Amino acid sequence: MSLRHELRSLVNYQDGYVAAAVHFDPDLYRVEAEKVFNRSWLVVGHEGMVAKPGDFVTNYMGEVPVIVLRSRTGDINVLVNRCSHRGNQVCLFDRGNARGFACSYHGWSYDLDGAMQGAPYEDIVYGDTLDKPSLGLKHARVATFHGLIFATFDEHALALEEWLSPDVQWWLKNFVLSVPVGGLEMLHGWHRYASSGNWKLASENFAGDNYHVWASTHVAMTAVQRDFAERGLHTPLDINAGSSQATPGTVFDLTAGAEGRAPLGIGVVATDDSMHTSDLRVAGRLGKEVVDWLEYRRRTYQELTAELVRKPKGFWHGLMYPNLGLMGFASHLSGRHFLLFHPRGVDDHEFWQWTMVEREAPDVVKEFAAEHVIFGQHMAGVVAPDDVENMERIVDASHAPTTWRSPFHYRLKLGLDAQSTSADLPGTVVPNPSEFNQRRFYQYWMNEMLKEDA
């Protein structure tokens, strides 16, 4: 069966059915490595991670290890972390500052632009036979968007500013990267953990699955909140305690991009005042400067959204195609989490997460956000372990090839897709809860999988 025929039989995003095979079939996984991870612009970090010349962090593009670094001239390079001699990694550290990299196997060395510098005993063992200019580390194409570093292996890929549609740019700039209120700064270090399940199970979860949060998976979190509240104890998780009090009809899911451009799915966009009220309640115990800062933010965003009929205040979660998860936690006190879902074979992935805080926020908010990470979206918190358990059980229940043709169900608010294009919020909008963003994710994924080679 041709790939086109096969995918058309597996993915019916119009009716909200996607067969389990897309998460388990190793043949599709191999195609995906080429059509998704070799083609897309992938987020590999933030400029704050590599502020000074020589600063580097290691990361992955799909399953390919890369070094993200600031060169001597201030450019950002993304180099494949793979020696040109016989394929060993040349950088063995998570992050640091370096003048170059030397391979641990036979000692070939490279500078910060990836150019090969030399080999041990070069004159004796190679004479003049080593063609060093052809033996540098492979470069990915690099572009940045307000500090977020993207890279792609596809030299024919659209320019990043085209890959990100105007609506996607609007959301990333204003609500993810907080540019109107001074932008973000790093809380340094990755938080990483392994999880069962195809990487797309994590991506679709962040794109639009708010249903699992309050219906079942994360009721443990709300139970802890309730119990602590009854005892008069406060934790950083309190920020979410007010989110269930949103006015009906004011909370939306939306997908920006998608029509031929990479989709950004955002879940639980609040347009009423419940988020501000909830933040103010916590700010009351953090101090007046926090209340003042929240009011300053509110005024700034009122001006920014003055022309919009529905005025977004913040969001809970999101997914920039293909594998960048986002957490906004429906609060301005939580910090902003960025999560990469790196594929590790067809039915495993790794979370690589970092957190940022608004640069102009009072220090007490930055400390609060750092604590909030550990209480919540963290393997030591009350959110991430419950998600990982679901993934393990999905793999256990559905990895047998005899089950692959049975479809998974993405039909929530299906009937509203056709009416959802909205002029009053950037993107295409459906009332929350929905599985609209998941349907858009699979629509785009399938089209990318079917694109002919350039």
Q: Which is nearer to ligand FES, 137 or 365 (CB)?
A: 137
Q: Which is nearer to ligand FES, 103 or 160 (CB)?
A: 103
From the list ligand FES, Fe ion, none, pick the one residue 106 interacts with, judged by a Cβ distance below 5 to 8 Å according to partner type: ligand FES
Q: Name which of residues 208 to 237 contact ligand FES (CB under 6 A).
A: none
Q: Which is nearer to Fe ion, 55 or 387 (CB)?
A: 387
Name the nearest CA neighbour of 133 among 119, 112, 117.
Answer: 117
Does the CA dihedral 286-289-291-295 come out positive or negative? negative
From the list Fe ion, ligand FES, none, pick the one residue 88 interacts with, judged by a Cβ distance below 5 to 8 Å according to partner type: ligand FES
- Dist CA 125 CA 115 (whole Å): 20
Q: Is 114 exposed, middle or buried (0-12, 13-18, 19+ CB in 10 A)?
A: buried
From the list Fe ion, ligand FES, none, pick the one residue 176 interacts with, judged by a Cβ distance below 5 to 8 Å according to partner type: none
Residue recorded with tokens 């009332």: 431
- Per the CB < 8 A criterion, the answer to whether 196 and 388 are in contact is yes
* 204 lines the binding site for Fe ion (CB under 5 A): no
R_g over Cα of the chain: 23
- For residue 338, the minimal CB distance to Fe ion (Å) is 16
- Dist CA 116 CA 56 (whole Å): 18
DSSP H/E element including 10: helix 3-10
Tell me how crowded residue 297 is: count the other CB atoms within 10 A of its CB: 22
Q: Is 418 exposed, middle or buried (0-12, 13-18, 19+ CB in 10 A)?
A: exposed
From the list ligand FES, Fe ion, none, pick the one residue 387 interacts with, judged by a Cβ distance below 5 to 8 Å according to partner type: Fe ion
* Interaction mask 82-121, ligand FES, x per CB under 6 A: -x-xx-x--------------x-xxxx-------------
Kindly determine how many residues on this chain lie close enough to bind Fe ion according to the rule CB under 5 A.
Answer: 1
- For residue 56, the minimal CB distance to Fe ion (Å) is 32
Q: Which is nearer to ligand FES, 88 or 300 (CB)?
A: 88
- For residue 377, the minimal CB distance to ligand FES (Å) is 37
Give the three-state DSSP class for 5: helix
290 phi/psi in degrees, rounded to 5: -75, -40
* 387 lines the binding site for Fe ion (CB under 5 A): yes
CA distances from 378 to 276, 321, 340 (A): 25, 22, 13
- For residue 245, the minimal CB distance to Fe ion (Å) is 21
* Interaction mask 120-159, Fe ion, x per CB under 5 A: ----------------------------------------
Nearest residue to the partner Fe ion, using Cβ: 387
- For residue 67, the minimal CB distance to Fe ion (Å) is 31
* 79 lines the binding site for ligand FES (CB under 6 A): no
Name the nearest CA neighbour of 375 among 315, 408, 331, 440.
Answer: 331
From the list Fe ion, ligand FES, none, pick the one residue 204 interacts with, judged by a Cβ distance below 5 to 8 Å according to partner type: none
- Dist CA 66 CA 78 (whole Å): 6
* Token pair recorded at residue 242: 């007010």
- For residue 204, the minimal CB distance to Fe ion (Å) is 12
Binding site for Fe ion (CB under 5 A): 387
Binding site for ligand FES (CB under 6 A): 83, 85-86, 88, 103, 105-108
